[in-house]
Structure 1
Amino acid sequence: MSKVNVLVVDDAPFIRDLVRKCLRNAFPGMTIDDAVNGRKAMAMLGKEAFDLVLCDWEMPEMSGLELLTWCRQQPELKNLQFIMVTSRGDKENVIQAIQAGVSDFVGKPFTNEQLLTKVKKALTRIGKLDSLMASGQARVNSAFANDSLNALTAGKPEAVKVAAPAPAPAPARPVANAPRPAISAPTGRGQGQLRLAGGMQPCVIKALSLKEALLVVRRGEALPQVLEGAVLDLEQGENAEVARLNGYLHAVAALEPKPDSDWLQLTFKFVDQDAQKLDYLSRLIARGTAQKHFTPGA
């Protein structure tokens, strides 16, 4: 079997670790390396041959789009399979990446099976999937199911089957006498949109720091899972600044002291290391503190 080399590029260690584990569980014979940003990845691509790159878009020093553009300018890398892993799903961003020569997209948040579907398609295009599967080195069932990769491409899962997610841990101690917030469309300060694998969900920000946010969401049919990956979209301020913050659910608790609570309190941990996003959060915390829209220091 021909060797398959994959490079995972993301400035968030949490995401890199989860992607590596997902791929290793599905393809034990695959060689997987990682880089913290586009510049590090560029140096690695110049020294070693890779079949596939899974790359975040927003990173310090060199973005995923800049890395993709550089790759397509190198004659030896023009056929490299390059999958962009991003929360930038806007039409203009998609067109920009397509024009730069992207092979495929994985939208954050994504699931294990969705990520594997994209990887299998990429390996099929370069003629390496059949030999990988025939050798018995690819596992159909993944044991690594209940993680924040329960949140990564678009599209329905195909041939890959993964283990059912583990039951959610027992809720943390509920907040006594908590108010029942009325969540409407997230247009005002202190509100946002939480993107989970199951879809978009309005949320209220109760507290915010540079490391995490305390959110309140309406309970749905499917409960959010601890360690589930997600993207928090925030539109704040007079200029309607928008930030897409990548992270995962660190804790899920009932907001009301009863098992059928209509509201859930979520602790959302940020994984981005991008200086621009940290600056945005700092300004957002200062603005929200002045206006008393949320409590800093979550």
Structure 2
Amino acid sequence: MRKILIVHETRILRTLLKTYLISALNDVVIIEAPSAAEALEKFKEQKFEVIICGMQFKQANGIALFKELKNEEINKDTPFIIVTSTGSKENDIQHYFLSPFTPIELREKINTVCDPRQWCAHDSISMPDAKAIIHVNNDPIDAGIINAITPAQNLTTTC
């Protein structure tokens, strides 16, 4: 699952982004932060695959938050997308998303900065002639195993 942080002061816009992401992508977990200060706390606590941030806040702006993020070891290389209704851009920030947009446009942007095909959550191994015993209502049922899924070794996710 790709963990995405949405940072925006306006609850309606956070909800809209969350709704768009969930409707367009089936492999995301959404975390919300209503302020730059709360976002900084979350940056320190957990790794994100993508950060989507509004441009303006009461106490800061998206560009200042981006620069602060670069000082945090755990998320310093995380793709950072600024959502803006103006066309203005800052040279330090690589990813901008112009509002208004559709869920499909948002999905394409997320997949561009963090391609799900790079992810390998498990290895599939074949075990010919392997058998399993499944208990249903305390009655054993013999079953053949077609494929087994095991956690990938040394899995790292980078986008």
The TM-score, its normalising length taken from structure 2, stands at 0.69
Which residue matches 1:46?
Answer: 44
How far is the alpha carbon of 1:131 from its aligned partner?
Answer: 5.8
Q: Secondary structure at the match of 1:18?
A: helix
How far is the alpha carbon of 1:77 from its aligned partner?
Answer: 2.4
Residues of 2 paired with 1:26 and 1:131: CA distance?
A: 18
CA offsets 1:179-205 (integer angstroms, 9 cap, x no match): xxxxxxxxxxxxxxxxxxxxxxxxxxx
Which residue matches 1:98?
Answer: 91
In the alignment, residue 117 of structure 1 is paired with which amino acid?
E
Q: Secondary structure at the match of 1:44?
A: helix
Residues of 1 paired with 2:98 and 2:111: CA distance?
A: 16
The TM-score, its normalising length taken from structure 1, stands at 0.38
Which residue matches 2:79?
Answer: 81
Whether the aligned pair in 1 keeps the contact of 2:52 and 2:82 (CA below 8 Å) is yes
Across the two proteins, how many residue pairs are aligned to each other? 122
Which of 113, 117, 124 is matched with 2:104 structurally?
Answer: 113
Q: Is 1:23–2:16 an aligned residue pair?
A: no
Residues of 1 paired with 2:4 and 2:91: CA distance?
A: 21
CA offsets 1:98-145 (integer angstroms, 9 cap, x no match): 22xx23101122222221111110112xxxx1166x99xxxxxxxxxx
How far is the alpha carbon of 1:48 from its aligned partner?
Answer: 1.1
Listed as ranges, the gaps of 5+ residues in structure 2 are 123-159
In the alignment, residue 103 of structure 2 is paired with which amino acid?
N
**Larger relative contact order (Cα-Cα within 8 Å, sequence gap ≥ 6):** 2
Q: Is 1:122–2:128 an aligned residue pair?
A: no
Listed as ranges, the gaps of 5+ residues in structure 1 are 136-298
Whether the aligned pair in 2 keeps the contact of 1:64 and 1:84 (CA below 8 Å) is yes
CA offsets 1:250-293 (integer angstroms, 9 cap, x no match): xxxxxxxxxxxxxxxxxxxxxxxxxxxxxxxxxxxxxxxxxxxx
Percent identity at matched positions? 21
How far is the alpha carbon of 1:85 from its aligned partner?
Answer: 0.4
Say if 1:68 and 1:51 are closer, same or farther in 2 by CA, change over 3 A: same
Residues of 2 paired with 1:55 and 1:116: CA distance?
A: 15
Whether the aligned pair in 2 keeps the contact of 1:37 and 1:63 (CA below 8 Å) is no
